[in-house]
Amino acid sequence: MSNSFANNRNICESTGSEAYSNPKYGHVMLEALNKQRLDKKHCDFTLEVKNEFIYAHKALLAAASPYFEAMFKHNVKENTEGKVKFTDVEVKPLKLIIDYIYSGEIKISEDIVQSLLFITDLFQIDWIKEQCEQFLKLRVDLTNCFSIWKIAGVHSCKELFVYCNRYILRHFPQLIDSEEFLRLSFEELKAVLTDDGLYVQCEKNAYLSVLNWIKYDIEARKTHLQTLLSHVHLPLLNGEFLRYHTIAEPLLNKELLRLLPNNKRKSSFVPSTSEKRKYHNRYGLPRVLFTGGRVESQPLDACKIYHLSNSKVFTVSSLKEPRRCISTVSLNGLMYTVGGIGGNSNLDLVTAECYDPFINEWTQIASMQTARSSYGACVYNDCIYVVGGNKNTTVENYNPIRNKWYQCPNLSVKNVNDIRAAIIENSIYALGSKQTFRFDSREGQWYNLDNSIIVGVSFEVVSYGHSLYCIGGCSRKSNCRRFDVRSNSWETLSPMNVGRHGHSVLIIEGGIYAFGGWYRKALSTVERYDFQKDKWTIDDSVKIAHSYGGAALIHYPTK
């Protein structure tokens, strides 16, 4: 027997020891403690809030919260009496936090997230605070960004504060009419206006933001006008725009005129090397958005962005529905495209869409009153005008604030094919295949102009100075002409190197750019027209294959 025992002992010694871990132990123990808490058994501490009592264990509270750990280390009243009374917290969030201590799980909702932040600050439970930050971060939008920004500041949520601040700076043009913006304090507004990262898109938005804020409570705020306007780059405001506002806003007239002599009027502003970064933040970097188009007569929903700074092209979010024979315009940092020919039906569309480059998303807006394609589109007085189209002489405008289309006087012609539109001073100019028109919104009337030039169809038009520039088209693919609105006369310009129709043209950095188009096949060449030299030059640095779609220039805020 002794030999057998010895052998067994040797066997045990040779195998060594093993450690075993119960993966469910922590969960099981917390469940057991939680059951004790709910059954009010073996609890040695009570939390009272608004006549409700929450039972707990000191050891677990101290392990989860530095606040309770410090309380239980000292001979304070709460420790000796085994209870604490809260007068400035809500019942529901406090219960949720105690539930978390016993389970490791918490459910956050919009109605209690701010109360949770307050209590987690008090209890110093960092994990819950981080989850609250992430919860709010995912919900930041144009309607609540200022509220969440303030919450982040109050509770020292650094990551959330930086995120909201950046969101506000990047979306500033879209926020200046919002209720949250108008309720900002003077110090808060000043902090936004003086931030080097502020993106205003154009200085008009900075000026209007001050004007809107002052007028929200003019008697209480008018003393801040001069200080706030000192942070607006007044020399960059259009002289006519300023003159209009000094007349239209008599209460602001004297204050504004006092500032103007200190700022020499300039029609353009070129920053020094040291100012370029701040300049790009404030006005963004120019890029071109191409929308829709066609491939072998089939409409496309694809959209792409062309970076002027590095000649790179990348894809962005697609249109909600395919469209060809469309125009695209930019207004207050958003892009709009309407109508066109869609799907396989070959019918004109009545629908319209809006693109937000900040979130890279197209959304449906109110539909037009009349379906149209091959129309003209332009922006005037913060509204979008669409003019005519293929066998269409109707005109309407869109108010983005009201999300509504309004009928305008029709073109004074019976039959028309393609139409293109552009703005010169206070008038909308529309160019058809055989006729030129001018619309004065103050008079609400269209006038026929010089009709001696036949431009055909699928041409493009841009305005520069006091002139309309008609580029290409089906019948005269490389021809270029200039219409001087002062003399009501046409002039022939140098032709493009590559004839094209269904292309896109834009004024970019003091020149006309012609992108893509069609001539026997899809074209990808890009040309630039020099006004001074009356010469077209092919830009070999980029290829843009795009025809019968829309294109518009937009200034993106820097990253």
For residue 30, what are its two tokens? 């917390």
CA proximity to 373, closest of 274, 277, 299 = 299
Give, for 537, the enclosing helix (H) or strand (E).
strand 535-538
pLDDT tens figures, 245-267: 666 666 566 656 665 534 433 33
Specify whether the backbone of 533 is left (phi greater than 0), alpha (psi in -120 to 50) or beta: alpha
**In angstroms, rounded to a whole number, what is the distance separating the alpha carbons of residues 79 and 70?**
10
User: Judging by beta carbons within 10 Å of its beta carbon (0-12, 13-18, 19+), is residue 428 exposed, middle or buried?
Assistant: buried
The CATH number of whichever domain residue 83 belongs to comes to 3.30.710.10
First and final C-alpha spacing in the chain: 83
Residue 103 sits in the same domain as residue 225: no
DSSP alpha helices (H): ranges in 47-103?
58-64, 66-73, 77-81, 91-103
Residue 9 domain-assigned? no
333 to 22, 340, 528, 555: CA distances (angstroms): 58, 22, 25, 7
Shared domain check, 385 and 297:
yes
| Surface-to-core class of residue 294, CB atoms within 10 Å of its CB (0-12 exposed, 13-18 middle, 19+ buried) | buried
Q: What is the pLDDT of residue 292?
A: 95
Residues 307 and 377 in one domain: yes
Does residue 540 belong to any structural domain of this protein?
Answer: yes
Residue among 346, 302, 348 at smallest CA distance from 322: 302
Q: Are 411 and 513 contained in the same domain?
A: yes
Q: Give me the mean pLDDT over the 184-208 stretch.
A: 91
Distance from CA of residue 182 to its chain's centroid? 19
Domain-embedded: residue 362: yes
Q: Tokens 């010469």 correspond to what residue? A: 535
Last residue of some domain: 139, 156, 177?
139
Are the C-beta atoms of residues 552 and 316 closer than 8 Å to each other? no
Question: Which of these three, 219, 245, 280, is where a domain ends?
Answer: 280
Task: For 13-25, write each residue's pLDDT tens digit.
Answer: 556 788 998 888 8
The answer to whether 107 and 135 have CB atoms below 8 angstroms apart is: no
Report how far residue 464's alpha carbon sits from residue 482's, in angstroms, rounded to the nearest whole number: 10
Name the least confident of 35-39, 130-134, 230-234, 527-531: 230-234
Q: Residues 349, 339: contact at Cβ < 8 Å? A: yes
Would residue 492 count as lying in a domain?
A: yes
pTM of the model: 0.60
Residue 3 lies in a domain: no
C-alpha 188 chain-centroid distance: 21
207 in a structural domain: yes
The phi and psi torsions of 288 (rounded to 5 degrees) equal -115, 130
Judge whether residue 37 has pLDDT over 70. yes
Q: How far is CA 419 from each of CA 4, 372, 422, 551, rounded to the nearest angstrom?
A: 107, 11, 10, 16
Encoded tokens for 420: 């293109």
179, 238: one domain: yes
Sequence letter at residue 308:
L
Q: Is residue 415 part of a domain?
A: yes
Helix (H) or strand (E) holding 145: helix 145-154
CATH number, domain at 201? 1.25.40.420
Same structural domain, 372 and 448 = yes
Cα–Cα dist 67/56, whole Å: 15
Query: Residues 423-451: pLDDT tens digits?
Result: 998 899 999 877 889 998 788 889 888 76
Number of domains in the chain: 3
pLDDT at 246: 65
Is it the case that residue 269 has pLDDT exceeding 50? no
In a domain, 533, yes or no: yes
Contacts of 485 (CB under 8 A, 6+ apart): 424, 427, 429, 438, 449, 466, 467, 468
**301-328 per-position pLDDT tens digit:** 999 999 877 888 889 999 999 999 999 9
What confidence tens digit (pLDDT) does each residue in 507-521 have? Answer: 988 899 999 998 888
Integer Cα distance of 194 and 187 in angstroms: 11
Residue 102: pLDDT over 80:
yes
CATH code, 483: 2.120.10.80
Asked if 172 and 200 touch (Cβ cutoff 8 Å), the reply is yes
Q: What pLDDT shows up at residue 61? A: 95
What average pLDDT does the chain have?
87
- Round to whole Å and give the CA distance between 230 and 55: 58
Instruction: Indicate if 234 and 304 belong to the same structural domain.
Output: no
- State the residue range of the domain holding 113: 24-139
